[in-house]
Chain A
Amino acid sequence: EAGVTQSPTHLIKTRGQQATLRCSPISGHTSVYWYQQALGLGLQFLLWYDEGEERNRGNFPPRFSGRQFPNYSSELNVNALELEDSALYLCASSLSGFSEQYFGPGTRLTVT
């Protein structure tokens, strides 16, 4: 069974640009989560999507947004990139909001 996949693996952007990160959940999983892991800040929850709807949002500014598609894949968009957005962005999926979360390999975003 294929795990959670994320693309791209690495992304280099300039301050002020927009970044789009993509995630495909495990087959059969309807919930997708996004987390940010920045140096020194640990893992922080960004967004939770389930059945195409945003269910919960972490303490991040509105320039972090996303969506979930009918096939349950998801994308995370970060607008007006700032240097401190440089981090590993991890996507996870689960059968529901109550279930075990499985993580993808992450996208390393570097903002210069």
Chain B
Amino acid sequence: KQEVTQIPAALSVPEGENLVLNCSFTDSAIYNLQWFRQDPGKGLTSLLLIQSSQREQTSGRLNASLDKSSGRSTLYIAASQPGDSATYLCAVIKSNAGGTSYGKLTFGQGTILTVHP
């Protein structure tokens, strides 16, 4: 059974700091990995998707890396801003033996990020 763990559970940083959020998964047979942010009481906003064959993806101040063999992904946020305050979730889609997707995302519990001015 796929399990996804995110560390730390919560993080509070001053504005301008660079930070790293960690995600680990137990089953390396993944099809892809997505990072999301969720604002309180809202839906999820997709930040980055990394295919299993890729090592990293970048979007603006965000950079996500993937090491399938060790079951780890990191989300790097550069020059953090108060508007980055949210819960960050990573999720994986498992692939089956035939290489097709089960479709479902398995989520970690999230990292609650607070960036204070």
Interface of A with B (CB < 8 Å)? 4, 31, 33, 35, 42-43, 45, 48, 50, 55-56, 58, 88, 90, 92, 97-98, 100-106, 108
Contacts and interface: CB of A to CB of B under 8 A. Distances in A.
A58 B104 contact: yes
A102 B49 CA distance: 11
Given A42-B107, A101-B34, 18 more contacts: A4-B43, A31-B103, A42-B108, A43-B89, A43-B105, A56-B102, A56-B103, A56-B104, A88-B41, A97-B101, A97-B103, A98-B31, A98-B32, A98-B93, A98-B101, A103-B43, A103-B44, A103-B45
Interface string B29-70: 001101010000111111001000000000000000000000
Contacts of A101: 34, 46, 105
B28 interface: no
Interface residues of B, number: 25
A106 B43 contact: yes
A33 B101 CA distance: 13
A100 B103 contact: no
B104 A104 contact: no
Q: Is the interface of A mostly helix, strand, loop or mixed?
A: strand
Nearest to A105: B43
**B contact patch SS:** strand
A88 B107 CA distance: 15
B85 interface: no
Nearest to A31: B103
A31 B102 CA distance: 12
Interface string B15-37: 00000000000000001101010
A34 B31 CA distance: 19
